[in-house]
Amino acid sequence: MYRIMKKTIFTVAGIVLAATTATGPAMAQGYPTKPITLVVPYSAGGPTDVLARMLGVVMARSLGQSVVVENKTGAGGTLAAAYTARAAPDGYTFLIHHNGMATAPALYRRLSYKPLADFEYVSQVLDVPMTLIGRKDLPPKNFKELLVHLKSHGDKINLAHAGLGAVSHLCSMLLRQAVGTELTTVPYQGTGPALNALLAGQVDLLCDQTTATIPYIKAQSVKLYGVTSSTRLKALPDTPTLSEQGLAGFNVVVWHGIYAPKGTPKEALEKFGAALKLALNDPSATQRLTDLGALIPDDDKLSPAGLQTWLQQETQRYTPVIKTAGQFAD
């Protein structure tokens, strides 16, 4: 279940933090005293980048300092995560990352950091369901027809994804397993190129976030076969889930979390987390995300412990899926 966003204004009272005492680096009164960096593992203009920049603008008003987005792309998000893990734990570097934090240990056999051990946890941010879409002239008119088409054409169907380790890659692996048919997967360097290839008719199918696909769905530039969430979306109320249409239990949601280097002072984590949580309650900015299918998690996930527990569960969920597929990113 997800909470309904309430209409308020993105104004968050400033909180002044005392200096650290027993643990962590010492902090000056009035943190933050300089801009905060929010590291994004993916390219500018992508779904995670858009989310980070929207949050950064809102949170800057509360924190009294700019939140500067820094894109560190490559290696399925592991370069950005490794960079953050090595950054000074002074409260001025944070990482926003999605499901890739949970899939990296299985996808990368030589990983320079430990997702579950090398970070402090701040909070989950948003959950974004995915859509299964096809090129505009793909023959099947609905998912039932698509299943028949996949069974009869199999390896001739090109299924695009945004690169090894991307959630669209994970979705493609789960889809292939669910339908029991081998499909030809085509990796691209990001969501944008994969979506452009579909729009150009160069590939047949793509599983990607609603925040990226809904504008094209509404413009009827692609064919929509279903959503990957467990329930229907308010943004697409007439579109059945894939689970409804025969893939029982099929549920792939892009979830985002915010992390900091291990040892970041508690005061910084709490102030950043408080500003984030209050901002997420304000749909004057998040209404756009709501219209694109994004969902704010329940309160139990909007906490350090909630994010840590969720990361552990997702790591356990996807590790066997990736190992069964036998696809590694290194």
Q: How high is the pLDDT of residue 26? A: 53
State residue 323's pLDDT score: 84
Q: Are residues 110 and 40 in the same domain?
A: yes
| In a domain? residue 15 | no
Helix (H) or strand (E) holding 216: helix 210-218
- pLDDT tens-digit readout, 235-254: 899 999 999 999 999 999 99
Pair (172, 124) in one structural domain: no
Distance CA 97, CA 104 (A): 11
In a domain, 30, yes or no: no
What is the domain-level CATH number for residue 175?
3.40.190.10
pLDDT beyond 70 at 151: yes
Tell whether 78 and 116 lie within a shared domain.
yes
149 and 90 within one domain: no
Residue 114 — very low, low, confident or very high, per pLDDT cuts 50/70/90? very high
Residues 218 and 262 in one domain: no
Q: Is the pLDDT of residue 89 over 90?
A: yes
CATH of the domain at 315: 3.40.190.150
DSSP at 295 = B
Which range among 39-43, 44-48, 267-271 shows the weakest confidence by mean pLDDT? 44-48
Digit-coded pLDDT (tens) for 270-311: 999 999 988 888 777 677 777 778 888 888 889 999 999 999
Last residue of a domain, one of 227, 242, 271: 227
Environment class of 204 (CB within 10 Å of its CB; exposed 0-12, middle 13-18, buried 19+): buried
Reported pTM = 0.81
Q: What is the pLDDT of residues 198-222, one digit of tens each?
A: 999 999 999 999 988 999 999 999 9
pLDDT at 10 over 50: no
Query: 93: which strand partners?
Result: 37
The whole domain housing 184 covers 129-227
Same domain, 143 and 215: yes
143 and 108, same structural domain?
Answer: no
16 in any annotated domain: no
Residues 6+ apart with CB under 8 A from 309: none
In the block, which residue shows the tokens 């950054």? 87
The yes-or-no verdict on residue 20 having pLDDT over 90 is no
> Do 219 and 265 have their domain in common?
no
CB 318 within 8 A of CB 165: no
Alpha carbons 91 and 15: distance in angstroms, whole number:
15
| Whether 40 and 71 share a structural domain | yes
Q: Is residue 27 part of a domain?
A: no
In this structure, the answer to whether residues 223 and 133 fall within a common structural domain is yes
Q: Is the pLDDT of residue 70 over 60?
A: yes
What is the rounded average pLDDT for all residues in the chain?
Answer: 87
Burial class (CB in 10 A: 0-12, 13-18, 19+), 159: buried
Q: Specify whether 219 is located in the same domain as 135.
A: yes
Helix (H) or strand (E) holding 126: strand 119-135
Q: Are 61 and 12 in contact (CB under 8 A)?
A: yes
Q: Are residues 310 and 266 in the same domain?
A: yes
> For the segment 302-320, what is each residue's pLDDT rounded down to a tens digit?
999 999 999 999 999 889 8
Q: Does position 167 have pLDDT exceeding 70, yes or no?
A: yes
Which of 227, 245, 279 is the C-terminal boundary of a domain? 227
Contacts by 1-7, CB closer than 8 A, 24 or more apart:
1/298, 2/127, 2/295, 2/296, 2/297, 2/298, 3/296, 3/297, 3/298, 3/299, 5/281, 5/283, 5/286, 5/287, 5/290, 5/296, 6/281, 6/283, 7/283, 7/284
Domain count across the chain: 2
